[in-house]
Amino acid sequence: MLIREKEYRSLCLKIGFTLLVQFVIDYFFLWKAYDVAALFGFRLNYVGETILNSLIYMICFMLPVLFFRLISVRRRHPGMGLSVKTGKDLFLLIPAAVALIVSAAYLNGLLFSFADFSKVYVDTYIDSPASLLLEFIATAAVPAVCEEFLFRGCIESELMPYGKQNAIFFSALAFAVMHGNFAQFLYTFCAGLVIGYVYAETGSIWPGMLIHLFNNLFSVAETVLLSNSSAYFNELLLTLLETVILAAGALCLVILILRKKIVFSKDIKENELFVHSRAFYFFNPATICYICLKVLYAGFIFYIVLTD
């Protein structure tokens, strides 16, 4: 077996174990935080609960990031892409990426329009600027930062030396599975592909984080507008906002295509020696176990939605 093939197999095992660590932290330990708070007599109001949720979310992702960095041997692999890189194409790439992700969200919504997933999620009540700021931090900023560090900064960056397309696809797949929701899989997988492409082309984690933030911010805006009493006016405003995002993104995408900026550079020939083994090594026992756990969780949620 080639040395780089052994390195790739070892890397995939480390990715699988890191994903399992994220699952264990998320579902078996930190969900007890509320019980601990109650044990010490803390009564959490909306502000306290939102702050606690944000802290839990950061721990659930940043601890696996630390775990992955500790078990990874850094040789000739690239860094996490923490340098800030700008260029004229970046200002076209970001709107195009946001529009593609919003389009995927619409398609995903149409496919699962028969199911009401609001039954299994806590309603969000935004009645003041302070609660709006907290909602922005908890559901837009924190997930965008933490998820990008794990899936692009760690997983995709480490897979990049073994093939750009390979790295984008498998990091996007892990990103989609992580959400543990059948109704979000197509949308999150497409989002992972788009953000992964941006990361691979720019070599920086920040543009993808900004795209992720814009997408989450749009979801927050949608929640605010649709929960307001002026429903008809807000629906018109939301439609206008969506139209502007899609039109601007489509224009930017067309310009990039005409300028031949949307391309995939060919992987180096050395990687072709084990191209047929990439999927086999990625779907190792640790990764398969993680996927099965997430599928069981998603199936449980889906069962509740369909039977409640």
DSSP, res 161: G
User: Which residue reads 């992964």 in tokens?
Assistant: 196
What pLDDT, on the 0 to 100 scale, is given for residue 102?
A: 92
What pLDDT, on the 0 to 100 scale, is given for residue 305?
A: 75
Structure token pair of residue 6:
């052994």
What pLDDT, on the 0 to 100 scale, is given for residue 53?
A: 81
Average pLDDT value over all residues in the chain = 83
Closest CA to 23 of 286, 209, 285, 279: 286
What pLDDT, on the 0 to 100 scale, is given for residue 156?
A: 95
Closest CA to 182 of 249, 114, 95: 114
Strands in 60-150 per DSSP E: none
What pLDDT, on the 0 to 100 scale, is given for residue 123?
A: 58
DSSP, res 128: S
Question: For the packed helices 90-111 and 205-227, what is the interaxial angle rounded to 10 degrees?
Answer: 50
Structure token pair of residue 131:
């609660």
**Does the structure show a pLDDT above 80 at 271?**
no
Q: For a pLDDT cut of 70, what percent of the chain falls above it?
A: 79
CA 50 to chain CA mean position, Å: 20
Question: pLDDT tens digits for 20-48?
Answer: 999 999 887 666 665 555 555 555 676 77
Question: pLDDT tens digits for 167-184?
Answer: 999 999 999 999 988 888
Question: pLDDT tens digits for 149-167?
Answer: 999 999 999 999 888 999 9
Q: Are 290 and 177 in contact (CB under 8 A)?
A: yes
Count CB neighbours of 88 within 10 A: 8
